[in-house]
Structure 1
Amino acid sequence: MGGFGTRHRQVADEALIRSLFEEHGRAMLAYATRLTGERATAEDVVQEALIRAWKHPDALVNGKGSVRGWLLTVVRNIITDNVRARNARPKEVAESPAAVPIERDHADKVVNSMVVLDALDQLPAVHRSVLVEIYVRGQSVNEAAETLGIPPGTVKSRSYYALRALRDMFSTRGAGMEGVA
């Protein structure tokens, strides 16, 4: 006997979904197509919305608002969820064997950093400390001033003169330091 009741419910559910699609399917599809810009994606969204309606038939008959309004809200929510899920994942990039890394030789970076550290060592301690706080530790002028216990204006002037001194050092050393300082 229980089988008849289950079968009756399945027929009723199918009839409900079929009538929902006949009455609201075109509006749902038009709305989803407008939001996604793709007919195939819109069809998938409408199908998902109808599945949700089938799983929650009480939401359709609870008297709060229109059935079409509920269905269109479900369509919008599905699309929003899909966009959020897509944005949460990193973009997939096709690997191409012909693509060569565009990074310069690692040795150049090592040599350049050694040259910069050597040049920093030649600066007076007051200038070096300001540059270390701002450029190495990434502090703002105000943060560096607080750390060093000096006014922000002093941090600015010391960094200006320190960078000028570094530029002079690099220009006297000659070429080969492109991209440094």
Structure 2
Amino acid sequence: MGAVGLDDREQTIRTGYEKHVPALLAYVRRQVGGDQHKAEDIVQETLLRCWSKFDGDNHTMLRPWLFKVARNLVIDGYRRGGARPKEVDGTGWLEQEPAELDHIENILSSVVVSEALKALSPAHREAIYLTYFLGKTIEEASDALGIPPGTIKSRLFYGMRSLKLALQERGAGSPTAPAPASAAR
């Protein structure tokens, strides 16, 4: 492609493109916070408008006209972004906090867990209650019950396994209880 067969208007636009577009692209890139792709889109739209609307009679007005159109497109894009909902890129759900269970759901869950706890032996129920519900450490539960810490650990292990089975029998799945206080130490 050469300049052969171009009229004066097309030649002015081509010369203006070669002369002004690098500066225009740098200007728009600064306006959009360094986003190269967005800047290229705005410059392309500016050039399309130039091609269809610019009166090529005044060569000295091309540069100011290009910069004014590009500036207006940046402003329009900014305003449009504020008026529209935020675009979703597919990862927004990772940032959302899970919905809190309502009061009735908490009550129903506690009833199911209470019933499942009744299915455990008193020794297992006692160890789970002291550590998981009262937040005592293994050593504190050991002192309270007067039995060795290893026995508390064993009762917790087998008690939680039995509790999981009891919950599954009731259709509630496995419990998501926190670890006993001493497990974090």
TM-score, length of structure 2 as denominator length:
0.43
More contact order relative to length (CA 8 Å, sep ≥ 6): 2
